[in-house]
Amino acid sequence: MSSDANAALGRLRDDLGLRREGVSLVVDALLRQKVRDLVDVSVFVDVVSRAAEVAFLERLTREHVEPAVARLLEGLAGTTVGALLPEGEGEALEALVVDAEPPTLSWLADAVDPELVRQLFAPIWQDVLVRFVRRLPGLGGGLAGALSSFGGSSIGRFGRDTAAKLGGAKVEEKMQSATSDFAKGLTQEVREAIAERLTSEEGRALDQAMRRQIHQRILETDAAVILRDLDRLPRAAFFERLPAIVAANLRGDLGRAIVRREVEAFLAVEGDKTGHQVLEEASSGPQVRAYLRVQAESLLGILLEDAAFAEWIGRWLGPKD
């Protein structure tokens, strides 16, 4: 190694001020670059795709994601959901909850066989009707006639059918048969009645009141209690299958296309900003610059003691071949 190279390395090793000045120049030059100049979309997409190995994702899930969930549950113990919100945000969220339109779930239409729904709920309707009829006077034609006054509705038809079936001996048996027939066709009408009730003025007011009460209960509840309740879901089994699902999607054409599209969308908004501008907007410029300088100084200190780096400096400052 030439004497000039030795002198340069020695000077950098001994002069901390000079070393810090050089590091600051490098860090500031880096932060002056535009974000889009620091990100190669194709390389980024390729790195994400290559990193989506099942074994690697399994390890990340096992060693980082699952422990993080456990730490979150422990850390939030004793803290209500309301305490996690800035002042005024509870009321703002309540307004959103009360006025929000629920999902239509139209994509679930016809997903479940109506016959299965009928089989599930018909015994419930029948039991309710039997209990109701048993507690009223006029078990036979009197009650049936009263129910018949409901016209063409399910209840009216039930009353007329019951009036025709009841009479004479075995009233209880006939009542069971009548309520069973009625209950079998009631499920759809109950759904329609519920929908109609919820769209009425009074129904909407009651729905909003219930939403407010639910929202208030959530705010008053220990956040860890809610999370632990949700944790009753098969989280371990889900995490066990998650890596394979993520890997299959990120390594496929669709996954790569989604990652590329999102990176390009990010750069379309942030790409022309410099690192300085991004950090200032995030109110973290001085802190990040200081952190980068400390890390760069540490790295430079390691390089100055590295034989390969010293050899490279020697070739750089030595005579040309």
Reported as a single tens digit per residue, the pLDDT across 119-174 is 777 777 777 776 666 655 554 444 544 444 444 555 555 555 555 555 544 555 55
Return the pLDDT at 287: 92
Residue (of 41, 64, 53) closest to 250 by Cα position: 53
Coil, strand or helix at 132: helix
Return the pLDDT at 140: 45
Return the pLDDT at 168: 47
Joined tokens for residue 191: 């759904």
Return the pLDDT at 195: 81
What are the Cα distances from residue 236, in Å, to 61, 150, 227? Answer: 10, 53, 15
Joined tokens for residue 39: 């990100």
Angle between helices 253-270 and 235-250 (to 10 degrees): 80
Return the pLDDT at 102: 76
pLDDT in tens, 256-276: 999 999 999 999 999 999 999
For the chain, percent of residues with pLDDT exceeding 90 = 24
Other Cβ atoms less than 10 A from the Cβ of 178: the count is: 23
Joined tokens for residue 304: 């100055």
Average pLDDT, integer, range 223-240: 87
What are the Cα distances from residue 262, in Å, to 87, 88, 152, 269? Answer: 33, 33, 57, 11
Return the pLDDT at 189: 73
170 secondary structure, DSSP code: -
- The yes-or-no verdict on residue 5 having pLDDT over 50 is yes
Separation of CA 142 from chain center: 56
Min mean pLDDT across 42-51, 80-89, 177-186, 299-308 is at 177-186
* Exposed / middle / buried, residue 162 (Cβ in 10 Å: 0-12, 13-18, 19+): buried
Helix (H) or strand (E) holding 47: helix 41-51
Instruction: Considering only residues 302 and 123, tell me which one the structure prediction assigns the higher pLDDT.
Output: 302
For the chain, percent of residues with pLDDT exceeding 70 = 81
What pTM value is reported for the model? 0.65
Residue-level length of the chain? 321
Segment of 95-99, 111-115, 173-177 carrying the highest mean pLDDT: 95-99
Average pLDDT, integer, range 99-103: 79
